[in-house]
Structure 1
């Protein structure tokens, strides 16, 4: 639900704009208001999840997300729509780390942990694709408002399940790191806001540059604060471990290529090939299926047997091959979708699914129960920042290359050829970023590091009533 809402309204934007009388300059805030609040508050949401307990944070996040979705879906004005989308982002920043913390604490045995993260990776990777498909279907056959109202029954079912199977635990007193909270919120918000404005203003715009500098400075202040406070918002030990740090890189770096790829293919399908919104959404469906197969059948089964690095590096190379397969296309190529787009989506989906499952598992493994929310928030934060940077970067590359091609070869068909040239430049850049990500992960992650069992003392699932709890050595050591 959280990932889906980052893309579900994308295809519905023309209908939203017409229905609410929204201007071209403001329509982008339907998407940006959500990502801005979500990205800016993730680290704080992760620590609040640790402080109040993952189950309570999860329940509050679900209820708040449902209410915010109702506000956004039933709004009569654009202003209330922006407010509702921002409120969705606020509660998503609490909900997403809590959900991942629950999964991480619940599944500690390597095989079941691999399967659990395989399912998580499939839903996370495919959520953005399903959002495009669902948004097109709901907009075309019902109304754009259902792109937001659909969250209410989803949240209701999840809340019932949470109350039934996730054990509550007492809240613990933690002094909130105010300097870390303020600097992380300011830094993340400034960076996400700047990257959201790049598409409209360009990288050289004074506002964009100012926000990038402010964001970078705030994150430096945040890093310094985490070294000096007794109870940091994000303990640096979560990041400095080679396995966890490499896992975070393996989660965030592919997003640089992936979200730009979504942007390029959306324009390919609708602008160059003339697909309807629902047909464009269906064209992405094989990508979602491939992500599910890569996450569950491939990575989910192999993760307990292989080191994370041995899965992630080849998976990123497979993704890069899929990106390269889309370079050099023309709209009049016979059988274009079956011969190029479909194989590319399968390669990219299998690669993403194969990489995201061991990467998330590595990024959250070996973390004490008090820091699972913080580690989970870090995973979501690098995903959000990676997607924002990738969209801005590849959109700028495509626009720059298209303008250069148009100046070099003006003519009757120059606009279409220039657009294709811009897309080729963006896809080549995406492929290069994936190869670079594979090299960085290979250098950072240890070769022999396999999944480390999660601490069992803070297990989230309730034991069957009347059973005798089993306490292993890890739990005993932690209690001592």
Structure 2
């Protein structure tokens, strides 16, 4: 899963550091650690589920607790760097992320790991936007700064692939806890080197929109909890209904606060432009499908196909390659063709890949049931990543380019968590229905000894349990396909960016570093 780096704020005064290579390494290492965290933990999910006794539906919180907090507080983190000093805030974010990683590695109960993931999200939200902005503070405008942005973008794009391999190696050779412990020495080293090699930025007076940040984040948490609760306890459950009611109240309060705040965390005027609103909807839809695809296919290849964590990490590398390939093609041809062809082609390929993925069953092989759909899906996502970023900042005043792009990053994180929760609701319902069917089939064929073992453990032996998991996964990809179709409709009907808009953006120096 890739994280799109926000467009940097307008360049400010910068002096060349005494050791620019070390400074850039420190900044890039921070971004790598934050980006890598999503995929490195994903590969370890089956082991985490077994070790801490997570249900499959509750396991989604290991992903969502991080992404919701990260996405919800991302804009506040960038704002904190402007007001308090970027280097200072950068170090605080790194230390919080490091401490949370240590706590998560020692977790003995599910709630302890989830609490640590929330703290990780907070640390990432503070450090990530500040790390990109620090490049403008550390490197003078011109070729040197442009090279720094290029390296930063390459690290952001490659972090997902590195995380897949690292997660597989650490989980297979040591233990799942090391996917969290590995952040500790890296974080300590970054925090120690930052004061020595990175310049501090000027402070800019301003206000913190804490009310907006809290109401939006807690509102999304309540909404996601409602879907996940519905997956296990049904739509009529009192806590499910209460969660949805709380979400409505908090999100309505967020809209009210933002409409009246002097310095809102989410400028609502950003949504007045149809192109930006369209890109945000597309990103929410595609991220929702992408997070679900990674989550459930990780479970499939390890629990159904029996892959080791290392083999699972290698199994996902082709999709990162085609994502990079699609991004490179769109970046090169975007000024020639404009965004529309890439958005429509990309969303179409994503929908085809997800629809193909919905055909997976317990008898599917990796080559026939997983690899092909992933390659189609990944290439479509690659065509969209750069295109959405450029479209989001097209026609935006230079001083607001950072906010427009950061909002796109926020919608990616929040949309991914929300989409995963929706797919989990469908997964839970489908797997329960399939389990009922498989239990009846098993009991009709089982020996007395097998019946006694099932009565004691309440666990179906393979292949019945594989059928249950595979049926839930394949059904979950049906609403994921619908999300991609929604993205296609929005790309076709709503977005109307012209090539001249992109040329003006490029000429103004506002093109994103991707």
1:66-465 equivalence runs, <5 A: 66-73=98-105, 81-99=113-131, 120=153, 123=156, 127=159, 130-152=162-184, 154-155=186-187, 168-195=200-227, 197-295=229-327, 297-332=328-363, 336-365=365-394, 367=396, 371=400, 374-404=403-433, 411-412=441-442, 416-417=466-467, 419-448=469-498, 449-450=501-502, 452-453=505-506
More divergent stretch after superposition (53-62 vs 350-359): 53-62
C-alpha displacement of 1:214: 1.9
TM-score normalized by the length of structure 2: 0.73
Give the superposition deviation at 1:42.
Answer: 3.1
With 184-193 and 265-274 compared, the bigger mean Cα shift is at: 184-193
Deviates more, 1:348-357 or 1:74-83: 74-83
Alpha-carbon distance in structure 1 between the residues aligned to 2:415 and 2:428: 20
Q: 1:224 to 1:29 in 2, by over 3 A?
A: closer
- Report deviation, 1:55: 5.0
Partners of 1:368 and 1:455 within 8 A in 2: no
The whole-number CA distance in structure 2 between the counterparts of 1:356 and 1:103 is 22
Cα 1:230–1:191, aligned 2, differ >3 Å: closer, same or farther?
same
Structure 1 gaps of 5+ residues are 461-480
The 2-side partners of 1:31 and 1:342 are apart by 23
**Superposed displacement of residue 348, structure 1:** 1.2
Supply the RMSD in Å over aligned alpha carbons: 4.1
Q: Tell me, in whole angstroms, the C-alpha distance in 1 between the residues paired with 2:237 and 2:310.
A: 36
Matched residues in 2 for 1:29 and 1:6: separation?
12
Structure 2 CA distance for partners of 1:187 and 1:408, relative to 1, 3 Å: closer
- TM-superposition CA deviations, 1:233-254 (whole Å, max 9, x none): 2212223223322222232210
Deviations 1:28-64 (A, max 9, x none): 6654543453344334324324434555543432233
- Identify if the C-alpha distance between structure 1 residues 242 and 432 changes in structure 2 by more than 3 Å, giving closer, same or farther: same
In 2, Cα distance between the equivalents of 1:197 and 1:108?
Answer: 50
Q: Which moved more, 1:183-192 or 1:218-227?
A: 183-192
Contact 1:319–1:352 at 8 Å: present in 2 too?
Answer: yes
- TM-superposition CA deviations, 1:58-115 (whole Å, max 9, x none): 3432233223323433567877655433321111122233346568999999xx99x9
Please give the alpha-carbon distance, in whole angstroms, between the structure 2 residues aligned to 1:408 and 1:23: 24
Are the structure 2 counterparts of residues 289 and 158 from structure 1 closer, same or farther at C-alpha, using a change threshold of 3 Å? farther
Give the match's secondary structure for 1:136: helix
- Distance in 2 between residues matched to 1:255 and 1:159, nearest whole Å: 31
Write the distance in 2 (CA, Å) between the matches of 1:367 and 1:404. Answer: 49
Does the 8 Å contact 2:391/2:497 carry over to 1?
Answer: no
* Contact 1:33–1:89 (8 Å) recurs in 2: yes
Deviation digits for residues 393-447 of structure 1, max 9, x if unmatched? Answer: 2222233334445667853577655554443332233223212211112222214
User: Structure 2: how far apart are the matches of 1:183 and 1:397?
Assistant: 27
Query: Can you list the C-alpha shifts for 1:109-144, whole angstroms capped at 9, x where unaligned?
Result: 9xx99x9699849845x6556544432320111233
Mapping of residues 15-34 of structure 1, within 5 Å: 22-24=52-54, 30-34=62-66
Bigger helix share: 2
**Distance in 2 of aligned mates of 1:366 and 1:52:** 30
Contact 2:76 / 2:208 at 8 angstroms: preserved in 1? no
Rounded to whole Å, the distance in 2 between the matches of 1:108 and 1:344 is 43
**What is the number of equivalent residue pairs in this alignment?**
451
| Contact 2:39-2:163 within 8 A present in 1 as well | yes
